[in-house]
Amino acid sequence: MDRKKYLLTIVFGVFMPLVLLAQWEPDVRLTNDPSESVTSFNNAWCVACSGDMVHVVWHDDRDGNTEIYYKRSTDNGMIWEADSRITEDAAWSERPSVAVCDSIIHVAWYDGRIGPPRIYYKRSLDNGATWGPDIGLTPTAGVGYHPSVAVCDSIVHVVWTDMRAGPQIYYARSLDNGATWGTDTIITPAAPPAGKNLASVAVSDSIVHVVWMDMRAAPQIYYTRSLDNGTSWETDRPITPATSQFPSVAVSDSIVHVVYADFRFGVDSPKIFHTRSLDDGTNWETEVMLADSFASWYPSVAVSGSHVHVVWPDDRNEDPSEIYYKCSFDDGVNWGVDTRLTDNVSESREPSVAVSGSHVHVVWHDDRDGNWEIYYKCDPTGNVGVIEHGEAVAASHRLFSAPSFFNERITVSFDESVKGPLSIALYDICGASAYSATYTSVPLSVTLGDTRILRLAPGVYFLRIELNEQAETQKLIKFK
């Protein structure tokens, strides 16, 4: 085998998982009626997906009172079917949460059909084509708000804020895919009965993780877990500094991720922070700020393997709030740059994020149409990003050499025997392009050092060189 064929074999064999560019598609308007259509708070998810199926829930009052509506796409958000009203009563129904496992969809919400708000649940066994009856999860004595639902295999978990002893956080589960439900249980101490609200739930195997905002001392994120699928619960404890609110939780294997709004810089200047546990919630790392703009709140998190995706609204551009996105492809160690998902003169609020395969799905509501409507956006390659193969190309066959760390500039050197037109590109950890340049012939060295490099945030980047039909990628780290 000659040297060129050998080099091509190495390049395409070792670097076949190359840079896949993150590319957000245009906004899609999912509702079109004169009433207000509204998603839920960030503790719950209004979008869930499995395979090519994407499921969205919300509430609106097109029928004279607020009801729960559902919409689905069978092709990863390319085409959407008509809205379906899935609640049918004379009272109001609000703030739904959705979860899916295979073809079974689980929805929880609260409504006032028998007086004070109660938590209700219903399911579809056929990917949303038909729906079963409403099931009440709280007794007539309960007053429940803001449910969050999660599912693993056939076990469904729901948490919510309940006023019968509190407000406190309550929990209910079904062991048979939502057909029957056990008695609801309080999972936070009865004393002190300080404000506990907006509980968020995630599950991995038999371990159930719950976080909420707690006012027993100062606003703070508290956490508890069950190691036996909700049969028993550990004593709750704070996992963030005061003052912090509005948590969202996601889990992959033993790594638990929590994002929230932190108010340490003032009540008018919340910032988005992230904390994680590497041991199923036993220990928690020091929090890291993800967004330092003027006012950021209500974050939503989804995780797929080592890929962590976060969305939130903020008003950094002195506009009404817009939706922003950030991702990590290494379990939350390093994060890509912020990506602005919406750009209009209206206010965009309360986004939810979900992931399936290579697709990242985001749903929110905004008033660009004169009233609140539901909008959707997708990145079909957002859960792939940049992949660097663990094997290294033999030194004698490298196309280039570059330092592993950089600050103000990157110097790339080439062997004098390398010939032909040259393309250089730098990508962030989420696959977004940070720098690109082309040359008609190969110089001995190239220095990347203009304002595009200076403006890059500290973190992990990937340098990609393409030469004729050859290509190589190297991971670089920018330090402060």
Would you say residue 171 lies in a domain? Answer: yes
User: Checking DSSP bridges between strand 422-428 and strand 459-467, what pairing results, if any?
Assistant: antiparallel
Would you say residue 416 lies in a domain? Answer: yes
Would you say residue 387 lies in a domain? Answer: no
Q: pLDDT at residue 17 above 50? A: no
Do both 328 and 408 map to the same domain? no
Query: Looking at beta carbons, which pairs linking 165-171 to residues 24 or more positions away fall under 8 Å?
Result: 165/190, 165/193, 166/190, 166/193, 166/195, 166/196, 167/193, 167/195, 167/196, 167/197, 168/193, 168/196, 169/196, 169/199, 169/210, 169/212, 170/138, 170/142, 170/144, 171/210, 171/230, 171/233
Highest mean pLDDT among 179-183, 412-416, 445-449: 179-183
Q: pLDDT at residue 8 above 90? A: no
Q: Which of 349, 379, 409 is the last residue of a domain?
A: 379
Q: What is the mean pLDDT of residues 9-35?
A: 65
Do both 223 and 371 map to the same domain? yes
Do both 465 and 343 map to the same domain? no
- pLDDT tier for residue 22 given thresholds of 50, 70 and 90: low
- pLDDT tier for residue 398 given thresholds of 50, 70 and 90: low
Do both 145 and 69 map to the same domain? yes
Q: What is the mean pLDDT of residues 69-82?
A: 98
Number of other CB atoms surrounding residue 34 within 10 Å: 10
Supply φ then ψ for residue 13, to 5 degrees.
Answer: -75, -45
- pLDDT tier for residue 15 given thresholds of 50, 70 and 90: very low
Whole-Å CA distances, 262 to 198, 213, 275, 284, 297: 15, 11, 12, 16, 8
User: Checking DSSP bridges between strand 405-406 and strand 470-478, what pairing results, if any?
Assistant: parallel
Q: pLDDT at residue 277 above 90? A: yes
Whole-Å CA distances, 171 to 10, 108, 116, 179, 419: 54, 12, 18, 17, 66
Question: Residue 44 is part of which domain span?
Answer: 28-379
Would you say residue 386 lies in a domain? Answer: no
Evaluate whether 30 touches 377 at the Cβ level (below 8 Å). Answer: no
Residues whose CB is less than 8 angstroms from the CB of residue 67 and which lie 6 or more positions away in sequence, other chains included:
59, 60, 61, 85, 87, 88, 92, 93
Evaluate whether 7 touches 470 at the Cβ level (below 8 Å). Answer: yes
Do both 15 and 33 map to the same domain? no
Q: What secondary structure letter does DSSP report for 296? A: B
Residue of 164, 89, 90, 153 whose CA lies nearest to 122: 89
Domain count, the chain: 2
Would you say residue 297 lies in a domain? Answer: yes
Q: Which of 379, 404, 431 is the last residue of a domain?
A: 379
Rounded CA Rg of the chain: 24
- pLDDT tier for residue 429 given thresholds of 50, 70 and 90: confident
Do both 10 and 120 map to the same domain? no
Residue 14 burial (C-beta neighbours within 10 Å; 0-12, 13-18, 19+):
middle
User: pLDDT at position 436, please?
Assistant: 86
Do both 68 and 177 map to the same domain? yes
Residues whose CB is less than 8 angstroms from the CB of residue 137 and which lie 6 or more positions away in sequence, other chains included:
108, 118, 119, 120, 121, 144, 147, 158, 172, 181, 184
d(CA 353, CA 383): 12
Q: How many helices (H) and strands (E) does the chain have?
A: 2, 37
Residue type, 137: L
Do both 45 and 79 map to the same domain? yes
Coil, strand or helix: which one is 479?
coil
Number of other CB atoms surrounding residue 51 within 10 Å: 13
Full DSSP string of 344-413: SSS-EEEEEEEEETTEEEEEEEE-TTSS-EEEEEEETTTTT-----SS---GGG-SEE--SEESS-EEEE
Coil, strand or helix: which one is 12?
helix
**Which CATH number belongs to the domain containing residue 14 in this structure?**
2.60.40.3080
d(CA 54, CA 51): 8
Evaluate whether 410 touches 4 at the Cβ level (below 8 Å). Answer: no
Do both 86 and 143 map to the same domain? yes
pTM (2 d.p.): 0.82
pLDDT > 90: percent of the chain: 62
d(CA 11, CA 121): 53
Q: What secondary structure letter does DSSP report for 431? A: S
Evaluate whether 70 touches 83 at the Cβ level (below 8 Å). Answer: yes
Would you say residue 384 lies in a domain? Answer: no
Evaluate whether 324 touches 317 at the Cβ level (below 8 Å). Answer: no
d(CA 440, CA 152): 55
Residue of 334, 248, 251, 254 whose CA lies nearest to 290: 334
Residue type, 271: K
Q: What secondary structure letter does DSSP report for 475? A: E
User: pLDDT at position 364, please?
Assistant: 98
Would you say residue 389 lies in a domain? Answer: no
Do both 404 and 304 map to the same domain? no
Residues whose CB is less than 8 angstroms from the CB of residue 160 and which lie 6 or more positions away in sequence, other chains included:
108, 110, 119, 138, 144, 145, 146, 147, 148, 169, 170, 199
Do both 178 and 113 map to the same domain? yes
**Which CATH number belongs to the domain containing residue 130 in this structure?**
2.120.10.10
Q: pLDDT at residue 21 above 50? A: no
Residue of 381, 375, 477 whose CA lies nearest to 27: 375
Do both 368 and 445 map to the same domain? no
* Residues 105-120: tens digit of each pLDDT: 999 999 998 889 999 9
User: pLDDT at position 464, please?
Assistant: 87
Residue type, 401: S
d(CA 83, CA 59): 11
Q: Which of 354, 379, 404 is the last residue of a domain?
A: 379
